[in-house]
Structure 1
Amino acid sequence: MSLLGALLLPATLCLAQQPNIEQVGAAGQANLQALAAGSPAVLPSSVRNEVIGSPYADQRWLPAQLIMSNKVPLAPVPLKYDVYNKRLLMRLVDRPKDSLQLDDRLLERFILQEPATAISPARQRVFRRFTDAPVATHRTQYVEVLQDGKFSLLKQYVKLLHKAQTGAYSNGNRMDELEDKPNYYVRGSNGTAVPVKLNLKQIQSAVPELSAALQATPGAKTAKTEADWVAVFKALNARP
């Protein structure tokens, strides 16, 4: 039976009744097994494993809730989003040392559970399919929902690979480097995600319907960082 067939089989059983808490246990683990590619995934690296930077959205293994389009219940699973290779890696209870590739064809979203630290509380990080992307080829990829509401702030993770330079005229950099080059989008009332830069004038220009509201939103005139703009959009969406 194919992986997709193994995944669809329990889905037919779910049509007769709604998933309950018991299904998240043994049944949830069984469904996760159907999502695994079956062999340890080879993590991206150079020949000598010398790469500056990380291919992941987050380097940590974080517990994740997986939301499937066919409503199959799944147990939480440690997950990493490999941005550079456009894949999701997970670890199963019975294979804690292996990184397995997730068969994500029926995955709608995943929610990373980020633990509390000394300076920040625990939080949930929602990644969904980028179905409203302005570029059609991006619509099967994932985007992080930094702030949701009438106006959503979205983050598309992008990793650029700079190959090591060799030869007599190289600049001395002999390691490949992965550079973070995220793209940000604002989803307005028309349901389309518009690319933006995180500064007030550019957002006002790209999303004219937000111009006046942003002008009156606390923090918008001085916001510079991603965290600043998350706070601005939270305040913006809280307004009546």
Structure 2
Amino acid sequence: MSFRFSAVLLALALPVAAVETAYAQQPQIEQVGAAAQANLNALVNGSPTVVPRGSVEATKGSPYADNRWLPARLRMTNNVPLAPVPLKYDVLNQRLLMRPVNRPNDSLQLDDRLLASFELEEPALTATGTRKRLFRRFTEAPVPTQRTDYVEVLHEGKYALLKRYAKALRKADFQGAYSTDRRFDEIEDKSAYYLRRPDGTVVPVKLTLKALQAAAPDLAGALKAAPKSSSAKTDAEWTAVLAAADK
């Protein structure tokens, strides 16, 4: 069972157990301003609807950019104030799910047509404090149909390193004489990276030293000299390499 919302920013509510049962519940987020909370409260009216689901075995992989409910601040194109809410980015289904603090057992699908960007806040793991992750529209995408998609801004300076999340569902295959006998659906990661140059052009790029040097030839020497440029593997490590070169 789920709940469909007709308000401006909410279209669909699903019970949390139906959306995700394997992750720990995050603490509630402090509300900011009576007007922001009033706007959020006004978005939780609707009527029930049925959402079909089911699979042969448990699906492998995750549809989310991050499996956790993380505190998020939303920036709207119409500047309507909103209280911060726990959020998940469902990449596979291209939707944002939020959990309102006054309905902690529901997940609500955000109607994001008026959303310009959102910022996720990760819990503090060290003394350096929380980490903020900015997702915005891919307005400069080389492919016009992708310009309403979200990209995570990994680095922003003279150059910008952007990550466009993408997922693909690989269905179970166990019927027929030529099946692979795979009895589970699998969600595969198809994410891609882009480098925005100072002239505004955007090019796809792989996270390797040679690929970054080719995409940003004026940074070639600085990239090679950056700490850990020869051993970087993760998004965070390559972000640090580019940040060191792009001063």
TM-score (norm 1): 0.81
Report if the CA contact (8 A) 1:37-1:103 is conserved. no
Unaligned runs of 5+ in 1: 7-22
Report if the CA contact (8 A) 2:122-2:130 is conserved. yes
* Cα deviations by residue, 1:111-146 (Å, 9 ceiling, x for unpaired): 001002369852111101111111111110100011
For 1:102, the equivalent position in structure 2 comes to 110
For 2:71, the equivalent position in structure 1 comes to 63
Summarize the Cα distance change of 1:40–1:139 in structure 2 as closer, same or farther, 3 Å threshold: farther
Question: Would you say 1:54 and 2:58 are equivalent positions?
Answer: no
Query: In structure 2, how many angstroms separate the alpha carbons of the residues matched to 1:198 and 1:62?
Result: 26
SS of alignment partner, residue 237 of structure 2: helix
Question: RMSD value over aligned CA atoms?
Answer: 2.8
For 1:227, the equivalent position in structure 2 comes to 236
Q: 1:92 aligns with which of 100, 104, 107?
A: 100
Query: In structure 2, how many angstroms separate the alpha carbons of the residues matched to 1:43 and 1:230?
Result: 39
Summarize the Cα distance change of 1:46–1:202 in structure 2 as closer, same or farther, 3 Å threshold: farther
Summarize the Cα distance change of 1:187–1:43 in structure 2 as closer, same or farther, 3 Å threshold: farther
One-letter amino acid of the structure 1 residue matched with residue 224 of structure 2: Q
User: Size of the alignment, in residue pairs?
Assistant: 221
Within 5 Å, which residues of 2 pair with 1:153-232?
153-167=161-175, 168-232=177-241
Which has the larger helix fraction? 1
Report if the CA contact (8 A) 2:9-2:112 is conserved. no
Query: In structure 2, how many angstroms separate the alpha carbons of the residues matched to 1:140 and 1:129?
Result: 5
SS of alignment partner, residue 236 of structure 2: helix
Report if the CA contact (8 A) 1:80-1:88 is conserved. yes
Query: In structure 1, how many angstroms separate the alpha carbons of the residues matched to 2:62 and 2:9?
Result: 33
Report if the CA contact (8 A) 2:138-2:151 is conserved. yes
For 1:9, the equivalent position in structure 2 comes to none
Identity %: 60
